[in-house]
């Protein structure tokens, strides 16, 4: 349903999107993950025909977006970042207006409104004006707008941003449910959303795709981590002993002092964090140090995300 090849977008001298390629089939929910400024929104704006790419190809439902934008856009529903609403309209009339923009008239229009009111749990506020809605209802109204024409393709830019945990949960379920017969791309920087709703995920960093796979595949790409706090000796000397353990890949020190070591121990790929945790436990008891904390994070998605997208610490 969506085929994107070698997409680039330059703003002046800045390259916001740098050779991004991906495809999404019907029945697939693709998570678009990346830190702020990675190029997620810019990519989505190009896929929806809102920005013209500097170069690259976009096909939606087999239609070329650059050659045939009107036709390509017909099969797309788009929830932009900070989606706009007409605050003096009622929810029902706003959705009716959106339906008409999509060419729906008469009974088809009314049916579409009823359908999205039901899908997005908005029936109770149908006749309420938009500016009197709570944030969650406003958001769902934006969401309803994006699916009013029952599109085959849905592009959702941070659809859970600014929602409370219950609302996030609801929106994720909605995405998952709709993903059964649509092609959906949604961006987020929340890792658990990817596990909760996506069949596949792409990690994008500084305009480039740096990882692409199912959540399970992505998990296998990272180092497991053991987080440790040990007291009883100088941080530096405890660290030096941990470093000697076979299977320790690297240590990221935290707040250490003359009396304690605190840090994250990255486990060599292919080795289990449980084994390394046991070694550290043995080391601490042998040395008569006090083990204050010992946590295993076995291939967590957010560890992988952190290790792949270190734009904050990269020089
Ligand atoms: N219209 C624009 N003009 C100039 N720079 C832009 C514009 N839109 C986005 N950028 C820049 O492109 C980069 C990617 O932005 P964006 O796609 O919004 O990232 P994300 O959605 O992943 O947070 C950022 O550095 C941003 O400042
Ligand atoms: Mg964005």
Expressed in angstroms and rounded, the spacing between residue 282 Cα and the centre of ligand 2 is 46
Expressed in angstroms and rounded, the spacing between residue 158 Cα and the centre of ligand 2 is 7
Residue nearest to atom 11 of ligand 1 (CA): 16
Burial 155-180 (b: 16+ CB within 10 A, else e): bbbbbbeebeeebbebbbebbeebbe
Is residue 77 in contact with ligand 1, taking CB distance under 6 Å? no
Instruction: Name which CATH class applies to 225-298.
Output: alpha beta
Express each pLDDT in 33-90 by its tens digit: 988 899 999 999 999 999 999 999 999 999 999 999 999 999 999 999 877 788 899 9
Query: What are the extents of the domains in the chain?
Result: 2-219, 225-298
Residue nearest to atom 9 of ligand 1 (CA): 42
The ligand placed nearest to the CA atom of residue 38 is 1
Mutate to test the pocket of ligand 1, among 14, 31, 42 (most ligand atoms within 8 A of CB): 42
Expressed in angstroms and rounded, the spacing between residue 244 Cα and the centre of ligand 2 is 43
Is residue 109 in contact with ligand 1, taking CB distance under 6 Å? no
Expressed in angstroms and rounded, the spacing between residue 188 Cα and the centre of ligand 2 is 8
Is residue 207 in contact with ligand 1, taking CB distance under 6 Å? no
Would you state the structure tokens that stand for residue 183, as one six-digit string? 């092609």
pTM for the model stands at 0.80
Expressed in angstroms and rounded, the spacing between residue 54 Cα and the centre of ligand 1 is 14
Instruction: Kindly indicate whether the domain formed by 2-219 is annotated with CATH number 1.10.275.10.
Output: no
Tell me what pLDDT residue 298 has. Answer: 63
On the question of pLDDT at 310 being above 70, the answer is: no
Express each pLDDT in 161-209 by its tens digit: 878 888 888 888 889 988 999 999 999 877 778 888 899 999 999 999 9
């Amino acid at each position: 349903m969506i085929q994107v090849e070698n997409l680039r977008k330059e703003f002046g001298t800045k390259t916001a999107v740098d050779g991004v390629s991906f495809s999404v089939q019907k029945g697939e929910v693709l998570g678009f993950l990346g830190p702020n400024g990675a190029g997620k929104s810019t990519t989505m704006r190009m896929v929806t025909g809102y920005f013209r790419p500097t170069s690259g190809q976009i096909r939606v439902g087999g239609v070329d977006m650059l050659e045939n934008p009107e036709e390509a856009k017909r099969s797309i529903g788009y929830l932009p970042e900070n989606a706009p609403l007409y605050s003096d309209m009622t929810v029902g009339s706003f959705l009716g207006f959106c339906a008409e923009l999509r060419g729906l008239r008469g009974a088809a229009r009314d049916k579409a409104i009823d359908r999205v009111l039901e899908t997005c749990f908005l029936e109770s506020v149908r006749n309420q004006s938009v500016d009197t809605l709570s944030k969650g209802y406003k958001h769902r109204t934006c969401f309803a707008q994006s699916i009013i024409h029952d599109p085959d393709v849905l592009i959702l830019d941070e659809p859970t941003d600014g929602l409370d945990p219950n609302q996030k949960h609801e929106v994720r379920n909605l995405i998952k449910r709709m993903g059964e017969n649509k092609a959906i791309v949604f961006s987020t920087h929340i890792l658990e959303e990817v596990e909760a709703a996506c069949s596949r995920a792409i990690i994008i960093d500084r305009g480039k795709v740096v990882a692409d796979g199912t959540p399970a595949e992505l998990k296998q790409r990272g180092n497991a981590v053991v987080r440790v706090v040990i007291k009883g000796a100088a941080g530096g000397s405890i660290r030096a002993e941990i470093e000697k353990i076979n299977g320790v890949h690297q240590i990221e020190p935290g707040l250490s002092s003359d009396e304690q070591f605190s840090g994250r121990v990255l486990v060599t790929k292919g080795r289990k964090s449980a084994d390394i945790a046991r070694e550290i436990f043995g080391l601490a008891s042998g040395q008569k140090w006090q083990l204050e904390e010992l946590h295993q994070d076995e291939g967590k998605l957010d560890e992988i995300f952190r290790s792949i997208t270190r734009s904050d610490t990269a020089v």
